[in-house]
Amino acid sequence: MKPPNPIKLRWKKLKNEWGYAIPEKRTIVIDPRLDDRTTAEIIIHEAAHCEFPYLEEEPVNNHGRNAADLLIRAGYTRQHDGEE
């Protein structure tokens, strides 16, 4: 089932960060050079900033780490098609 207001995912080689969120545009930008575990963590982290912009950084960090760990243990691997 598609979410009612999906978050857009963009891939871009970044210089000083792994990713960032633009909550008002419901968009996240992720560096495609990251390994699978880090990519999962950063996508979840930045998506949380879009969904819950009022949250402090610590719970967002914890959520990103815990959810990424679950995905990796469940066998998640990233598909690389369509990335820069």
Q: Flag whether 81 is in a domain.
A: no
Q: Flag whether 44 is in a domain.
A: yes
- Stretch 10-15: mean pLDDT, rounded? 97
Q: Flag whether 61 is in a domain.
A: yes
Long-range pairs, 16-22, Cβ under 8 A, ≥24 = 18/42, 19/43, 19/45, 19/46, 20/46, 21/46, 21/47, 21/49, 21/50, 22/50
What is the sign, positive or negative, of the torsion defined by CA atoms of 10, 16, 18, 21?
A: negative
Q: Which domain holds residue 41?
A: 8-73
- CATH code, 63: 3.30.2010.10
Structural domain total, the chain: 1
Query: Does the predicted model carry a pTM greater than 0.75?
Result: yes
> What's residue 84's pLDDT?
46
Residue pLDDT, tens place only, 24-77? 999 999 999 999 999 999 999 999 999 999 999 999 999 999 999 999 999 988
